[in-house]
Amino acid sequence: MMGEQSVMQEELFYGFSLERHVPADHLLRAIDRFVDLSAIRQHLAPFYSPIGRPSIDPELLIRMLIVGYCFGIR
C-alpha cells in the first residue's frame, strides 16, 4: 500500500565512522601512512579490458592483499 510515512526511519540507519572505531596506534593506520597506492590504477590500466563487467578496483585489491598478509588471512 502506498501512502505517507507516518513514522520517521532514521532509527533504521546509523552512521559509522572508522575514525571513531579504529585506534590511532592501529597497524592499518601505520600502513596507510606509508603505503601510497595512488598511481596503481594508471600503472595497471593497460591490463584491463575496456569492455565487459567492471573489475575490483586495483588499489582496493592491493590493500586487501596487504591486510590479509599482515593479519594472516588466507
Give the three cell numbers for residue 17: 565512522
Question: Domain for residue 8, yes or no?
Answer: no
Question: Domain for residue 9, yes or no?
Answer: no
Question: Domain for residue 17, yes or no?
Answer: no
Higher pLDDT, 40 or 7: 40
Nearest to 67 by CA among 12, 27, 39, 37: 27
Give the pLDDT of residue 8: 62
Which range marks the domain in which residue 41 is found? 23-71
Higher pLDDT, 28 or 18: 28
Q: How far apart are CA 29 and CA 13, in angstroms?
A: 27
Question: Domain for residue 2, yes or no?
Answer: no
Would the pLDDT of 63 be above 80? yes
Question: Domain for residue 44, yes or no?
Answer: yes
Would the pLDDT of 2 be above 60? no
Overall size of the chain counted in residues:
74
